[in-house]
């Protein structure tokens, strides 16, 4: 069986302290992440998800990398990756 890479879109957020990753192949566009985001940092993207519905994109100025969107996503389509201190400084 051949392994297939899962495509994701990545954006620096929280003043470069974290990465916001959205996996369009997993996102069904339910909007739970947008609804629960305390900073209102998520908006609909032009990128289409698994059912042809829009995925989300994070506003790097508003996103605080709190990971609530990641926790409420029923399809694990969002990952927030916090950068190591030395990685942020480079």
What is the DSSP secondary-structure string of 14-64? Answer: TTTTEEEEE-TTT-----HHHHH-TT--EEEEEEE-TTS-EEEEE-TTT--
pLDDT for residue 85: 73
Of residues 10 and 32, which shows the higher confidence score? 32
Q: What is the pLDDT of residues 37-48, one digit of tens each?
A: 999 999 999 989
Is residue 88 in a domain?
A: no
Q: Looking at the predicted structure, is the pLDDT value of residue 7 above 90?
A: no
What is the count of structural domains for the chain? 1
Q: Residue 75: inside a domain, yes or no?
A: yes
Could you read off the pLDDT of 17-28 as tens digits, one per residue?
A: 999 999 999 999
Best CA proximity match to 73, nearest among 28, 38, 8, 39: 28
Q: Is residue 90 part of a domain?
A: no
pLDDT of residue 19: 95
In which domain, by residue range, is 65 found?
9-79
84 in a structural domain? no
Confidence at residue 90, expressed as pLDDT on a 0 to 100 scale: 54
What integer best gives the mean pLDDT of the chain?
90
> Considering the domain boundaries, does residue 67 fall inside one?
yes
> For residue 44, what is the domain's CATH number?
3.30.70.20
Average pLDDT over residues 5-33: 91
């Amino acid at each position: 069986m051949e392994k297939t890479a899962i495509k994701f879109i990545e954006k620096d957020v929280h003043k470069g302290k974290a990465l916001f990753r959205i996996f369009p192949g997993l996102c069904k566009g339910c909007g739970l992440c947008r609804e629960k985001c305390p900073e209102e940092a998520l908006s609909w993207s032009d990128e289409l998800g698994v059912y042809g519905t829009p995925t989300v994109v994070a506003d790097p100025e508003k996103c605080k990398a709190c990971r609530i969107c990641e926790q409420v996503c029923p399809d694990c389509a969002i990952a927030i990756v916090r950068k190591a201190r030395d990685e942020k400084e480079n």
